[in-house]
Amino acid sequence: MLFNSLPFIFVFLPAVIFGFYLLRRFHLFRFSLTWLALASLLFYAWWSPQYLALLLGSISVNFLIGKRVALSFHKKAWLVAGVIGNLSAIAVYKYLGFFATTVSQLTNTEISVPDLILPLAISFFTFQQIAYLVDTYRSGQPEYEFVRYLLFVSFFPQLIAGPIVQHKEVAGQLSRLAIRSIRVEQINFGVCLFVIGLAKKVILADQLAPYATPVFNAADGGTSPTFLEAWGGLLAYSFQLYFDFSGYADMAVGLAKMFGIELPRNFNSPYKSTNIIEFWRRWHITLSNFLRNYLYIPLGGSREGSRSFNLLATMLLGGFWHGAGWNFIIWGGLHGVYLVANHQWRYLHAKVFATFPSNYVNVSGSGASIQNNTACLDDTENITSQGLSPKRRLLKTISGVTGVIFTFLLVSLAWIFFRAESLNGAVAMLRGVFGLHGLALPSEIYNMAPQLFSTFSDVVPNSNLGSFPHIKGFAVILVAAVLAFLAPNSTEISHWLMTRPDRTVNSRRHLILTTSCMTLLGIVFSICLKILVFAPDSEFLYFNF
């Protein structure tokens, strides 16, 4: 059952909301949490009924171990046992085949392993519980009520693809839900976010998929994509993944708000980042926090002489977390190299600008603690515009735009390894992106000046893949790019729509604007429903991790 499926929108969600608020209407607050937990288990069983026992077993064991970690005299031993147990489960189901294949290739021997189906969301609920055990060890405060812990892990908006939630972020909220009412504004905000996220998925991400999938599939199949084909497929996938995952994150946060629960924000316009460090503050924020708190800092963090190694190790393991394959490891390694290079550039940048007078430029925070930032980002740089001449402001703006474009290109090139099913397919895409497979033009353009184009041996008419060069495809990519780079994000839009005017604001004007926007939101929702009626359901990309 997908968030963007008609059964979810018109059957499951209304039934869960009705039961939840009916129980609360009769002051059965604790039963309302039980109802929500049971609904979450049903949501998971709809996907993978055969692995419901695995989910419940994992939750039950970690709940008991959490108490031991907090109350036993052998806290560290219980913590180690719990972490090893969780990692063992994910290693068997997700990585056993990869390890067996790798060993077989290295030793030239055949190793047979059971053919296991990857349990849905095992990466998310396993790492979330590892974080819970570590936090419990540090604080000595476990969760004592099983229903609350069950809901903390299995809450259906965030169960399948995050955000990765820390227990301290929701424990107090679940306690308050048992005694307090839920504000109407919070529910309205949730509905608004859900609709925006649905539009990202249905109107944008799903419309980009037909231009990305054929190109990557052809590359994996041995075809050599030409320059425009490779760039068309790559850009289509870059924006498809962006709107697919950010759309899911918006829907997850919006659904949680409908039940009075605030989930952490997982996206903050990452393609507007001016460098890779900033990108990882904005992309999959809860994963960045997890990598920082439970991997990067324990490895040594930003200790002098070890930061580069710790960054590389963290990002390599972060890539491996996404999938059992060398492509994911390469993707993580590329981002590790990006981050190391970005930190070295910042260090040199700070050294250079330290020679300028303070009235020209202000560089601050270069030694900030990692505790104040997201994963792998252990310093901040804030160059203000105060005291700068118009010429320097213009140069700073140009520098920012250049940084956004350069960062996006680096991220997109790394997405090739994230998306390609094989290493050969990724290499073929890279060669196409750099023009090593020639250039194919649409016949309409080629026939305008065949004699001119025929003088270039690498320029040929027609497309081998049937998707690019394609005017409509590039038009869809352009629309997606404008929205990703220039439009306000969903949280900013929702806050503006839900903010009540104060006495200093023209309330009539605000009412007209708000009514217009809500009407537009209703039209967008209607368009999404129309698309869903006539188009088959599509899986969220991050459900595979």
Structure tokens at 85: 């147990």
In this predicted model, which residue has the larger pLDDT, 183 or 432? 432
Q: Are 81 and 65 in contact (CB under 8 A)?
A: yes
* pLDDT(177) > 80: yes
Q: Specify the pLDDT at position 307.
A: 86
Please state the domain count of the chain: 2
What percentage of the chain exceeds 70 in pLDDT? 84
Helix spans in 259-306 (H) = 276-282, 285-291, 297-299
Which contiguous run of DSSP H or E holds residue 440? strand 439-441
In single-letter form, the type of residue at position 245 comes to: F
Q: Specify the pLDDT at position 162.
A: 81
Q: Specify the pLDDT at position 544.
A: 66
Structure tokens at 258: 């409908």
* pLDDT(441) > 90: no
Q: Specify the pLDDT at position 119.
A: 85
* pLDDT(505) > 70: no
Give yes or no: residues 526 and 441 share one domain.
Answer: yes
Query: Final residue of a domain: which of 124, 153, 181?
Result: 181
User: How many CA atoms lie within 13 Å of 501's alpha carbon, on the beta-carbon side?
Assistant: 12
Q: Specify the pLDDT at position 462.
A: 62
Q: Specify the pLDDT at position 269.
A: 93
pLDDT band at 510 (very low <50, low <70, confident <90, very high): low
Distance CA 387, CA 439 (A): 48
Give yes or no: residues 164 and 211 share one domain.
Answer: no
Structural domain contains residue 388: no
* pLDDT(240) > 50: yes
pLDDT band at 206 (very low <50, low <70, confident <90, very high): very high
Structural domain contains residue 471: yes
Q: Specify the pLDDT at position 251.
A: 95
Q: Are 465 and 229 in contact (CB under 8 A)?
A: yes
Beta bridge partners of 460: 440
The helix/strand/coil state of 376 is coil
Average of pLDDT values for 92-97?
A: 88
What percentage of the chain exceeds 90 in pLDDT? 52
* pLDDT, tens digit, 9 for 90 and up, residues 273-291: 999 999 999 999 999 999 9
Structural domain contains residue 203: yes
Q: Specify the pLDDT at position 363.
A: 36
Give yes or no: residues 155 and 220 share one domain.
Answer: no
User: Which residues are CB-contacts of 222 (< 8 A; sequence separation ≥ 6)?
Assistant: 424, 428
Query: Final residue of a domain: which of 181, 207, 236?
Result: 181
Give yes or no: residues 41 and 172 share one domain.
Answer: yes
* pLDDT(149) > 90: yes
Q: Specify the pLDDT at position 542.
A: 76
* pLDDT(102) > 70: yes
Give yes or no: residues 174 and 226 share one domain.
Answer: no
pLDDT band at 537 (very low <50, low <70, confident <90, very high): low
pLDDT band at 30 (very low <50, low <70, confident <90, very high): confident
Structural domain contains residue 9: no
Structural domain contains residue 305: no
Structural domain contains residue 346: no
Distance CA 377, CA 350 (A): 16
Average of pLDDT values for 225-253?
A: 93
Average of pLDDT values for 440-457?
A: 62
* pLDDT, tens digit, 9 for 90 and up, residues 361-393: 433 333 333 333 444 544 444 444 555 678 777
* pLDDT(399) > 80: yes
Weakest mean pLDDT among 101-110, 206-215, 232-241, 481-490: 101-110
Weakest mean pLDDT among 5-14, 93-102, 141-150, 251-260: 93-102
Structural domain contains residue 224: yes
Average of pLDDT values for 337-363?
A: 72
Weakest mean pLDDT among 89-103, 172-186, 321-335: 172-186
Q: Which of 322, 335, 343, 437 is catalytic?
A: 322
Structural domain contains residue 377: no
Q: Specify the pLDDT at position 100.
A: 86
In this predicted model, which residue has the larger pLDDT, 316 or 392? 316
In this predicted model, which residue has the larger pLDDT, 29 or 16? 16
Structure tokens at 125: 């609920």
Give yes or no: residues 459 and 525 share one domain.
Answer: yes
Nearest to 474 by CA among 218, 244, 207, 217: 207
Distance CA 403, CA 396 (A): 10
* pLDDT(86) > 80: yes
Q: Specify the pLDDT at position 113.
A: 75
* pLDDT(415) > 80: yes
Give yes or no: residues 88 and 147 share one domain.
Answer: yes
Q: Specify the pLDDT at position 378.
A: 47
Q: Specify the pLDDT at position 389.
A: 73
Give yes or no: residues 215 and 142 share one domain.
Answer: no
Give yes or no: residues 155 and 227 share one domain.
Answer: no
Give yes or no: residues 167 and 117 share one domain.
Answer: yes
Q: Specify the pLDDT at position 76.
A: 93
Give yes or no: residues 214 and 158 share one domain.
Answer: no
Name the average pLDDT for the chain.
84
Q: Specify the pLDDT at position 358.
A: 47
Active-site annotation holds for 322: yes
Distance CA 397, CA 391 (A): 10
Q: Specify the pLDDT at position 501.
A: 52
Domain containing 104: what range? 34-181
Query: Final residue of a domain: which of 154, 181, 208?
Result: 181
Cβ burial of 475 (10 Å; 0-12, 13-18, 19+) is exposed
Give yes or no: residues 139 and 208 share one domain.
Answer: no
